[in-house]
Amino acid sequence: MLLSRVISILLSLLFIQSVAHAQDPYVLAPLDVREAKTNDMGVLDQPYMALTNANVVDVRTGNILRDVTLVLQDGKISSIGNDMPPQDAQIIDIKGYYVTPGLFEGHFHGATAGDAKRALVSGVTTAKGASVDGFMDVALSRMVDAGYMAGPEIMPAGVYVTPELGNTTAILADERLYKYANRELYGEEALRDVVSINIDRGAKWIKTRSSGLSSRTSGPDALEQAYTDSELGAVMDEASKYNIPVSCHSHGVEVIIAAINAGCTSIEHASYIDDEGLRLMKEKGTLWIPTYISVTGFELPHDDYTTTIARQRHPHLVENLARMIRKGHEMGITILTAVDSSYGPESVYRVSGEINAFIDFGMTPLEALQAATIKSAEAYGMADKTGAVEVGLDADLVLFDRDPLLQPSVIHNPLAVISNGRIGLNRHVGAGRVLGDN
Ligand SMILES: [Zn+2]
Displacement of CA 323 from its chain's centroid (Å): 24
The answer to whether 289 touches 268, Cβ cutoff 8 Å, is yes
Distance CA 294, CA 297 (A): 5
Cα-to-centroid distance, 167 and ligand 1 (Å): 17
Q: What stretches of 234-343 adopt beta strand conformation (E)?
A: 246-250, 266-269, 287-289
What pLDDT is recorded for position 13?
Answer: 46
Cα-to-centroid distance, 109 and ligand 1 (Å): 7
Displacement of CA 253 from its chain's centroid (Å): 26
Alpha carbon separation from 400 to 26, 52, 397 (Å, rounded): 18, 14, 10
Displacement of CA 196 from its chain's centroid (Å): 24
Q: How many CB atoms lie within 10 A of CB 362?
A: 15
Query: Who contacts 190 (Cβ-Cβ below 8 Å, separation ≥6)?
Result: 180
Domain boundaries of the chain, sorted by first residue:
1-30, 32-157+381-438, 159-201+205-349
Displacement of CA 218 from its chain's centroid (Å): 26
Cα-to-centroid distance, 43 and ligand 1 (Å): 31
Alpha carbon separation from 148 to 21, 24, 131, 326, 385 (Å, rounded): 21, 19, 22, 41, 20
- How long a stretch of residues is the chain? 438
What pLDDT is recorded for position 214?
Answer: 78
Cα-to-centroid distance, 391 and ligand 1 (Å): 34
What pLDDT is recorded for position 17?
Answer: 43
- Name the CATH code of domain 32-157+381-438 (choices 2.30.40.10, 2.60.120.10, 3.40.50.12780, 3.30.300.30): 2.30.40.10
Q: How many CB atoms lie within 10 A of CB 92?
A: 24
What pLDDT is recorded for position 221?
Answer: 83
**Among 152, 249, 252, which Cα is nearest to 210's?**
249
Cα-to-centroid distance, 240 and ligand 1 (Å): 22
Q: Rounded to 5 degrees, what are φ and ψ at 242? A: -105, 10
Cα-to-centroid distance, 103 and ligand 1 (Å): 18
Tell me, yes or no, if the two domains 32-157+381-438 and 159-201+205-349 fold the same way.
no
Region class of 343: left (phi > 0), else alpha (psi between -120 and 50), else beta: left
Angle at alpha carbon of residue 350, lines to 347 and 351, rounded to 5°: 155
What pLDDT is recorded for position 345?
Answer: 86
The answer to whether 219 touches 163, Cβ cutoff 8 Å, is yes
Cα-to-centroid distance, 267 and ligand 1 (Å): 11
**Helices (H) then strands (E): counts for the chain:** 12, 17
Distance CA 47, CA 41 (A): 16
Q: Rounded to 5 degrees, what are φ and ψ at 103? A: -90, 155
What pLDDT is recorded for position 70?
Answer: 98
What pLDDT is recorded for position 37?
Answer: 83
Cα-to-centroid distance, 269 and ligand 1 (Å): 8
Displacement of CA 373 from its chain's centroid (Å): 11
What DSSP state is assigned to residue 341?
B
Distance CA 311, CA 294 (A): 12
What DSSP state is assigned to residue 81?
E
Query: Who contacts 376 (Cβ-Cβ below 8 Å, separation ≥6)?
Result: 104, 106, 126, 336, 337, 382, 387
Per residue of the chain (438 residues), give pLDDT as tens. 455 555 555 544 444 444 444 456 677 665 555 556 888 888 999 999 999 999 999 999 999 999 999 999 999 999 999 999 999 999 999 999 999 999 999 999 999 999 999 999 999 999 999 999 899 999 999 999 999 999 899 999 999 999 989 888 889 999 999 999 999 999 999 999 999 999 999 999 999 998 778 787 777 788 888 999 999 999 999 999 999 999 999 999 999 999 999 999 999 999 999 999 999 999 999 999 999 999 998 888 765 777 888 888 899 999 999 999 999 999 999 999 999 999 998 889 999 999 999 999 999 999 999 999 999 999 999 999 999 999 999 999 999 999 999 999 999 999 999 999 999 999 999 999 999 988
Cα-to-centroid distance, 366 and ligand 1 (Å): 26
Fold assignment, 159-201+205-349: TIM Barrel (3.20.20)
